Amino acid sequence: MKVTLRLTPLTVTTLFMLGIFAWLGASPAMAAPRAQDAAPGDAPVIFAAGDVANCANEEDFLTAYLMDGSDAPILALGDNAYEIGSLQEYNDCYGPAWGRHRERTHPVPGNHEYGDQAQAGYWGYWGDIATPLEPGCRENCQGYYSFDVGAWHIVALNSEIAQDAGSEQEQWLRADLAAHPTACTLAYWHRPRFTSGRYYARTSGHALFQALYDYGADVLLVGHDHDYERFAPQNPSAVVEYDRGVRQFVVGTGGATLRDYYFIQPNSEVRNSETWGVLKLTLRPAGYDWEFIPIPGQTFTDSGSTDCVQLDSVPPAPAGVTLASTTADIAANTDEVAAPSSGGETTPDEAAQTAVVPPATTAGDGTYTVQSGDTLSTIGERFGVAWTAIAAANGLTEASVIQIGQSLVIPGVDAAATAAPVTQPTSAQSTGNQSTSLPASGQPYTVAAGDTLFSIAVRNGLTWQELAAANGLSENDFLQIGQVLVIPE
């Protein structure tokens, strides 16, 4: 079997460190340590890095490997696929490295994603994972949203669209923060508010940072500059406030080529521009621990602990702003949306976030049980029903979060059709170009978590184009876990 891999001077070292030589029949001499989840009952963990995948580099494989020992949520901080964030670059560059973590990743876009027309590659690859406020949006989306991890409120923002005071995004952020006044809060976007790197004179997010400060947020994670930098907690005027300020981490260390610093900024506490890695955050109910984890063969690290900001009161939500929040609890150390806390009472805030309206069926309607990766739009495409009709039939809105195992009414679709197993893969963009039957020749392969056309093709000595052609697929089609492909002979 012929194996084709990205070939750079680091390739052999990368394969060695990741233990892929074992897959090829050799014996690796070492196994790199990987991050581990918190023990059951402990505070949940998240990982974060930006500036990730470039087909000319291999360090993204190593940073992805660091997270293999954990099921914790991952925050992708933008510029996730170089050079323009096209769908092909996501499939060919990001997919083989970080793609296996896709279902537990919560991304934001960077400036490189905006090099693709209408950002179709970014929105197309991530689907509703990146657009929970805009189900089905695949071009020129807003891309900001929020969710909860344990006791923490997490806010994903878009540094590539309007963000000044009074903008739709800034007003939404203020309303979202006002709705969660007592939670420890972490926000993330791509371009830094403070940085000692190349973009020190072109910082971003001033109004968003002001909102974070006004509502007592604790942490801001950014990328854009290809380095690691930790700042002291500070206010919007760059004055240190250890018990009140927002602490920013620059984590542009996901795999892209690193760059040195340009002008060291006030309040910069720790810097390193020579080490790739990911930031691990342990989210305690009233504080957090941070640890920068380097790739195998590198030694720099940074760690510490602190408490969350405590404010006596926060500003009210902006007048006239209707909050369409996507907030849902993310199970500690998993990628699944959790039900309200098991065993105990559900708080009013939890109930508002997780309440599911029982669907009322009518004659001629079928029901469907939500599976991993489903969205209202993909379910609608599967059964030929508009997602808005499904939402209306189930008392949902575009901001509602559907949960694995939830039963949905599919209006106007025969019950037998919704009960039948899905045998044809669906795409987040289109199903019209997918094959309804598989070729008779070749070996079957069942898609597993993290698989892409590229990674499956590599393992079988094919190009992704050959694999796609054999299965009636195109680069715009998404694979689904459990989907059966034919590996052509």
Clarify whether residues 106 and 3 are in a common domain. Answer: no
Clarify whether residues 87 and 4 are in a common domain. Answer: no
Secondary structure (DSSP) of 393-404 = HTT--TT----T
**Eight-state DSSP code of residue 62:** H
Question: Which residues, 6+ apart, have CB-to-CB distance to 388 below 8 Å?
Answer: none
CATH number at residue 471: 3.10.350.10
At residue 8, what is the residue type? Answer: T
- Residue 101 counted as domain residue: yes
Residue with tokens 């459990």: 482
Mean pLDDT comparison of 37-41, 242-246, 355-359, 458-462, highest-scoring range: 242-246
pLDDT band at residue 182 using 50, 70 and 90 as cut-offs: confident
- Residue 160 counted as domain residue: yes
Report the number of secondary-structure helices (H) and strands (E) in the chain.
14, 18
pLDDT score at 324: 59
At residue 354, what is the residue type? Answer: T
Q: Which residues pair with 246 in a beta bridge?
A: 234
Residue 91 has pLDDT above 50, yes or no: yes
Query: What is the mean pLDDT of the segment spanning 365-383?
Result: 74
| Maximum alpha-carbon separation in the chain | 68
Q: Both tokens of residue 451?
A: 């698989």
- Residue 280 counted as domain residue: yes
Rounded to 5 degrees, φ, ψ at 345 are -75, 150
- Rounded Cα gap, residues 216 and 67, in angstroms: 30
Tens of pLDDT, residues 412-429: 887 656 554 443 333 333
Domain total of the chain: 4
**Cβ atoms of 442 and 395 closer than 8 Å:** no
Q: What is the CA 357 to chain-centroid distance, rounded?
A: 27
- Residue 332 counted as domain residue: no
Peptide bond into 83 cis (omega under 30): yes
Q: Are strands 484-487 and 152-156 parallel, antiparallel or unpaired?
A: unpaired
Q: Considering the entire predicted model, what is its pTM?
A: 0.66
- Residue 63 counted as domain residue: yes
Residue 53 has pLDDT above 70, yes or no: yes
Q: How many CA atoms lie within 13 A of 182 on its CB side?
A: 3
Clarify whether residues 204 and 295 are in a common domain. Answer: yes
Query: Among candidates 148, 75, 103, which has minimal Cα distance to 354?
Result: 148
Clarify whether residues 412 and 450 are in a common domain. Answer: no
Q: How many CB atoms lie within 10 A of CB 70?
A: 21
3-class DSSP state of 210:
helix
3-class DSSP state of 452:
coil
Mean pLDDT score across all residues of the chain: 80
Tens of pLDDT, residues 104-161: 999 999 999 999 889 999 999 999 999 999 999 999 999 999 999 999 999 999 999 9
pLDDT band at residue 392 using 50, 70 and 90 as cut-offs: confident
Q: Are strands 152-156 and 184-188 parallel, antiparallel or unpaired?
A: parallel
- Residue 251 counted as domain residue: yes
Q: What is the CA radius of gyration of the chain?
A: 22
Q: Both tokens of residue 15?
A: 């394969």
Ramachandran assignment for 263, one of left (phi > 0), alpha (psi -120 to 50 degrees), beta (any other): beta
- Residue 216 counted as domain residue: yes
Clarify whether residues 299 and 379 are in a common domain. Answer: no
Q: Which range of residues forms the domain containing residue 370?
A: 356-420
Q: Both tokens of residue 312?
A: 């006596």
Clarify whether residues 139 and 255 are in a common domain. Answer: yes
Clarify whether residues 258 and 400 are in a common domain. Answer: no
Residue 358 has pLDDT above 60, yes or no: no
* Cα→Cα distances 278→10, 35, 127, 138, 282, Å: 19, 10, 24, 28, 13
**Final residue of a structural domain among 285, 307, 329:** 307
Q: Both tokens of residue 35?
A: 């991050």
CATH number at residue 285: 3.60.21.10
Q: What is the CA 228 to chain-centroid distance, rounded?
A: 20
**Final residue of a structural domain among 307, 331, 365:** 307
Clarify whether residues 286 and 158 are in a common domain. Answer: yes
- Residue 437 counted as domain residue: no
pLDDT score at 245: 98
For residues 13, 17, 22, 28, the Cα torsion angle rounded to the nearest 10 degrees is 90
Clarify whether residues 86 and 175 are in a common domain. Answer: yes
pLDDT band at residue 257 using 50, 70 and 90 as cut-offs: very high
Clarify whether residues 368 and 474 are in a common domain. Answer: no
Residue 466 has pLDDT above 90, yes or no: no
At residue 127, what is the residue type? Answer: G
Clarify whether residues 39 and 24 are in a common domain. Answer: no
Clarify whether residues 416 and 447 are in a common domain. Answer: no
For residues 219, 224, 227, 231, the Cα torsion angle rounded to the nearest 10 degrees is -30
Q: Which residues pair with 149 in a beta bridge?
A: 152, 330
pLDDT score at 167: 96
pLDDT score at 389: 83
Residue 323 has pLDDT above 90, yes or no: no
Secondary structure (DSSP) of 347-394 = PHHHHHHH--PPP---TT-EEEE--TT--HHHHHHHHT--HHHHHHHT
